[in-house]
Amino acid sequence: MKKVFAILLSLALLLSFLPSVYAGGKDSQAEYYSVLFNKNSIPASFAKDVSKFGGEVVYTVPEIGFAQVKASTADFSKLKGIAGVSAANPSISWNLPESQQIKAEGVNPANAALWDLQWDIQRITNDGASYELGTGSHDVVVGIVDTGIDRDHRDLVKNLLPGSKNFVPAGGFQGEEPYETGDPNAFDDLHGHGSHVAGSIAGNGAMLGVAPDTGIRAYRVFGTGSAESAWIYAAMIAAANDGVDVISMSLGGFDVIGQTFYVDPVTGKKENLGNDVADFKAYKRAVEYVTNKGSLVVVAAGNDGINATNKKEVMNFLNNEYAGDGLYFVGAGFEVPGTIPGVVTVSATGPKDVLANYSNYGPGFVDIAAVGGDARLYDQYAAEGRFDEYLAKRLFETEFNLSASNTGGWYWSIGTSMATPKVSAVAALLIDKYGKMTPAKLQDLLYKKAVDPVKGSDKQFFGNGHLDAYDALK
């Protein structure tokens, strides 16, 4: 029986997140707003206050004083004027990329049928040598905030612990996904990204993850399309409340602290859409909450190929990226959650520890680097009109990463999304070896023991160094 794999043509779960008006039509989606209160709580009268002008509270994260409200654009000023409101802005939505799957044939590594194709895991485990020192245990849990997990996948099921949850409400993103029931137990992966991430952490079967006996739990915040920031904050908080040791988040984008403008292509009318202060501050509160609970947050640096610490470069990127949507930005753009204090931000490398050609970087921004695959050959063959040759020669095997799919099989992908879970896995191995510890101590141990260190200018690309599970455990 032939095994079927796939290549994802897109490079990441998410390249950016912006107010939801940007995603699919100014008139239809401009009515959702993020609201942050002065305190980490929501006043009891808030829903009533909103209803007075015809608005509706659609989602709340009371632990950090955050709410999402549906209201008319004319009532936005009234929303900001409610007692206790610290900041409000058009809601930020997160988007899954367009992707195409291309079919192709094709804890003892000797017993893993796909091990020879896992060059990325081989690099991090020193060709499997780290498995002799430690493979993790169910005493340590990694919470995966993502698209869910294939709960029946034979390579994942033995490490999938009880307690996975769904945070996508009934109707899905702004009521546009009728198949979403809001069932908290509906954590099944409808996209594939979350299962791929899970495989890199704790796959144990035909493929192996970096920590193939570590416990994992899914916190689903995506269906097949967009997600709200509120769902992600709620998932992070639930994971921390559940006592997970590491929260792995292969997602990220940009918040604009300044002003965002929309120019109607027909009338030329300019509208000030405000900024992302409420969401940015809410993210900081969420990270603080989970860190205080004892969970280490590991996040992706992003796949835009830019220096995320260079504000001019970031703003130029955003203005070029969204000019066709009638948008332009003034101020400063921040990669989130990578720039939030307290998280571990992961850049991606390809073969031979070279920075991936899509990976974001920046001094003081990247904390650690891990293998996420590269696209140099992919881009070259595509540009030369020889993509069929790229597939025929199976060149994706030399630069893409293989992991589990949401259909019981496997596929190839690349991105900082693929690098992040490997760092999460090594963090879990360190806890299993040395015992429970604070996130700050775990970060320190990760940067000192779990890397092949780098110096000088290389730090802007690789942070403290290249992830190495064998060094972490020896």
Q: Give the burial class of 187: count Cβ atoms within 10 A of its Cβ; 0-12 exposed, 13-18 middle, 19 or more buried.
A: buried
Rounded to an integer, the average pLDDT of 463-467 is 98
What's the farthest any 2 CA atoms get from each other in the chain? 67
Question: Which structure tokens are listed for 90?
Answer: 């058009």
Asked whether 7 and 210 are in contact (CB, 8 A), the reply is no
Lowest mean pLDDT among 79-83, 134-138, 182-186: 79-83
Cα–Cα dist 296/445, whole Å:
12
Beta bridge partners of 345: 299
Does 121 have pLDDT greater than 90?
A: yes
Residue 221 and residue 187 in contact, taking contact as beta carbons nearer than 8 Å: no
Task: Give the residue extent of every domain in the chain.
Answer: 108-473
Going by DSSP bridges, is the β-strand pair 246-249/296-300 parallel, antiparallel, or unpaired?
A: parallel
Residue type, 138: H
- Calculate the average pLDDT of the chain: 89
Q: Is the backbone peptide bond immediately before 337 cis, with ω within 30 degrees of 0?
A: yes
Q: How confident is the model at residue 111 (pLDDT cuts 50, 70, 90)?
A: confident
CATH number among 3.40.50.1220, 3.40.50.970, 3.40.50.300, 3.40.50.200, domain 108-473: 3.40.50.200
Radius of gyration of the chain from its Cα atoms, rounded to whole angstroms: 22
11 has pLDDT over 90? no
First to last CA, the chain: 40
| Cα distance between residue 418 and residue 430, in whole Å | 20
**Which tens digits make up the pLDDT trace of 310-340?**
999 999 999 998 888 788 899 999 999 999 9
Alpha-carbon span 319 to 238, nearest angstrom:
35
3-state secondary structure 259-314: EEEEECCCCCCEEEEECCHHHHHHHHHHHHHHHHHCCEEEEECCCCCCECCCHHHH
User: Whole-angstrom Cα distance, residue 114 to residue 440?
Assistant: 36
**In this structure, what token pair is assigned to residue 200?**
């890199």
Q: φ, ψ for residue 342 (rounded to 5)?
A: 100, -10
Structure tokens at 146: 């993502």
Residue 216 parent element (H or E): strand 215-220
pLDDT at 26: 33
pLDDT in tens, 156-202: 999 999 999 999 999 999 889 999 999 999 999 999 999 999 999 99
pLDDT band at 147 (very low <50, low <70, confident <90, very high): very high
CA–CA distance, 232 with 436 (Å, rounded to integer): 25
User: CA nearest 473: which of 130, 140, 126, 121?
Assistant: 130
The DSSP H or E segment spanning 231 is: helix 229-241
Angle, nearest 10°, between helix axes 229-241 and 277-293? 10
CB 184 within 8 A of CB 217: no
- Tell me the CA distances in angstroms from 226 to 100, 152, 191, 353, 415, one per residue in order: 17, 25, 11, 33, 19
Q: What's the pLDDT at 102?
A: 41
- Cα–Cα distance between 285 and 292 in angstroms, integer? 10
Pair 415, 370: CB distance under 8 Å? no
Q: What digits encode the pLDDT tens for the residues 280-289? A: 999 999 999 9
Q: Which range has the worst mean pLDDT, 40-49, 89-98, 122-131, 250-259?
A: 89-98
Who wins on pLDDT, 456 or 95? 456
**Average pLDDT over every residue of 422-436:** 98
Q: Which residues pair with 263 in a beta bridge?
A: 270
DSSP 210: S
